[in-house]
Structure 1
């Protein structure tokens, strides 16, 4: 059995820290917490779980995470944010991994469930190197959207870390990027992609389109970022009411993905739906439901786009062309994922009455 050091950075996390530590306190062998200036009860709560509490001035996420890693004394480092949790099922999987992991493994990737809806469905998922060998001295890099630079023998697990955030720092990362531009930093493809994301999320759609386009046109960069640069650029065009360029950007993503993604197909379907081209919309929504994401893919995955969302939209499309039975079927498929969704239940009541259906 390998030994594990939990390494965390915290600041003013009194509302969530205990919830996080309770999930892993009986699995890890050591808890290292670096506090970067809390003014609430964070440190007091941390002391209930460990005496390995360290203090550091805030100098950015990467330096803080590297500082936390420097205190690890066990064979492997496991990291969490204070607003992360492991479900009971994932706690069991982590315990089993600890008992069976081959020490020759340098890193274990795990799913990161970065968002969930009110019904418990994962809305955003991607992989991260989550358990790494201490002796390899892997380092965090990047000023914004930092990443752990890992190499060697990496395996993928089905363990998921679930993010349960209580707030969001609106505009923080966008301001960091603007400061980088003001001081003359040269942006690479990754910078343009994430700067585009920050611009889009803050409503600066024209600037986001420009940043995504720079990413797409560069020969360097991760192909997965280019796929989502096309998709996200399409979203920006949609927000601006430019449906033609939205569709062009979505189709452009196929240059990089080679085969369609559900995230793209559902958006293409919605583009045609808004044009009242319902048969074309149904074609693309149907394709979206047939695409099963590769579990070993490291980029973003938005499960709604191959589960409830295209079914709900097909319900609308079939209703518009007078095929009530098919509309009812797809509403029921959507209801499997969101059983208490008010709009889906309203649809059900409408079709039950229209079709004379009874439970």
Structure 2
């Protein structure tokens, strides 16, 4: 049976941390909590579950924090969770079975992420993430905010799901990170323009959001999924601005990126 290190970065998560750790504690063999500056009871709650609590000054980059968290893993595989994630009972059963049977040659296990649910618990948004990774491969996170884990090698898909159960939206946090990137003169990738546009849209800055979605579309590089969603989200902005003609144009533009090559 493989061994697993849980690595989490946290800050002011007293409302949800115990719920997350209760759902994962009997699946993993080690819990590493990396606190980035909590001012509430987060650290005290974490101490109920582990003595492996570390502190990392917040730098404005989720990738830096997540990569640092991974350095504390001492087991064969790393599992990462956010504090407002949970592993539901059926998924816990499947996860434990996966742990017993996983081929140790596997480099990464992709799991479903139930990113959105309605008031009845029905999943409204689901996609895959490389969730369980081999420690020895030293896989790294990329990107400051909406980051991704860069993996390669022997990757398998699992039916296990991690469920996101957000209790509140941290308004403006990610927006501030992008604005600091602009102040520093950082070069934006197509992915940065797309996610900065999302943050602007969610905070009601629709015209600036449209501008950043367009910058994503103007670049040949970037994920086609981001470009399709940039068009859709741009249309959403035009709807809020009352420009129905441009809303329709933006929606129609999304079909250009769905054409087969």
Q: Say whether the fold is shared (TM-score over 0.5).
A: yes
- Determine which structure has the larger strand proportion and give its number: 2
* Aligned equivalents of 2:140, 2:78: Cα separation in 1: 12
SS in 1 for 2:235: helix
* Aligned equivalents of 2:207, 2:18: Cα separation in 1: 42
* Aligned equivalents of 1:130, 1:203: Cα separation in 2: 32
Q: How does 1:1-359 map to 2 (within 5 A)?
A: 1-59=1-59, 60-258=61-259
Q: CA shift at 1:47, angstroms?
A: 1.9
Q: CA shift at 1:125, angstroms?
A: 2.2
* Aligned equivalents of 2:109, 2:86: Cα separation in 1: 18
Q: CA shift at 1:177, angstroms?
A: 1.5
Q: CA shift at 1:182, angstroms?
A: 2.5
SS in 2 for 1:28: coil
1:26-82: CA deviations, max 9, x gaps? 111111111223233222222221222222222232222112111111110001111
Q: CA shift at 1:258, angstroms?
A: 2.9
SS in 2 for 1:140: strand
* Aligned equivalents of 2:209, 2:154: Cα separation in 1: 37
Alignment match, 1:340 = none
* Aligned equivalents of 1:118, 1:242: Cα separation in 2: 32
Q: CA shift at 1:15, angstroms?
A: 2.0
Q: CA shift at 1:21, angstroms?
A: 0.8
Q: CA shift at 1:200, angstroms?
A: 0.9
* TM-score scaled by length of structure 1: 0.69
Q: CA shift at 1:4, angstroms?
A: 0.7
Q: CA shift at 1:5, angstroms?
A: 0.7
Runs (5+) with no aligned partner, structure 2:
none
Higher relative contact order (CA 8 A, sep 6+): 2
* TM-score scaled by length of structure 2: 0.94
SS in 1 for 2:232: helix
* Aligned equivalents of 2:55, 2:181: Cα separation in 1: 27
* Aligned equivalents of 2:203, 2:104: Cα separation in 1: 44
1:126-151: CA deviations, max 9, x gaps? 22111000000011221121221212
* Aligned equivalents of 1:193, 1:204: Cα separation in 2: 14
Runs (5+) with no aligned partner, structure 1:
260-359
